[in-house]
Amino acid sequence: MAYLKKSPWLLHYDASSCNGCDIEVLACLTPLYDVERFGIINTGNPKHADVFVITGGINEINREVVKNTYEQIPDPKVVVAVGICACSGGVFRECYNMAGGVDQVIPVDVYVPGCAARPESIIDGIVKALGILEEKRTAMKETERQHGN
């Protein structure tokens, strides 16, 4: 894992899951798994977030909510789809109101499959996302430097 200059903040959004993956995401915050050892802080405000963690598939009701929340997160940002429903729509993929996985609405950087995804897998996915976030920050700074901003 790359050295991070600031603690990454993550925003968790339950798109329409059965809550199995949500419980596992919250388990990552407990002392047993202690995701905070990486400096990660859970926030409820998209304007403070660096990592957008989504559980559940996208349906017609939450499509705009997910888009709007994504747009409120400042750049650079990364998206982590947690659970098979967020990755592809899962068993609900063929339902009349499902659009599918998160990538049907916003770009996804890391996929964490599973039903429900295990806390170890979620932490691994978030750590991978932090590496991608640091790459995006470096690229963004380089672009700003080249353009003289």
Residues 6+ apart with CB under 8 A from 115: 20, 21, 83, 84, 85, 90
Sole residue written with tokens 């659970």: 83
CATH number, domain containing residue 91: 3.40.50.12280
User: pLDDT for 54-68, tens place per residue?
Assistant: 999 999 889 999 999
Asked whether residue 46 carries a pLDDT value surpassing 80, the answer given is yes
Asked whether residue 3 carries a pLDDT value surpassing 80, the answer given is no
Q: pTM of this prediction?
A: 0.90
Domain count, the chain: 1
Tell me the DSSP string of 3-57.
PPSS--EEEEEESS--SHHHHHHHHTTSTTT-GGGGT-EEES-GGG-SEEEEES-
User: Domain residues for 53?
Assistant: 4-147
pLDDT grade for 94, boundaries at 50, 70 and 90: confident
Residue 75 bridge partners (DSSP): none
Asked whether residue 142 carries a pLDDT value surpassing 70, the answer given is yes
Instruction: Tell me the Cα Rg of the chain.
Output: 15
Mean pLDDT computed over 122-149: 87
pLDDT for residue 120: 93
**Closest among 108, 85, 98 to 22, alpha carbons compared:** 85
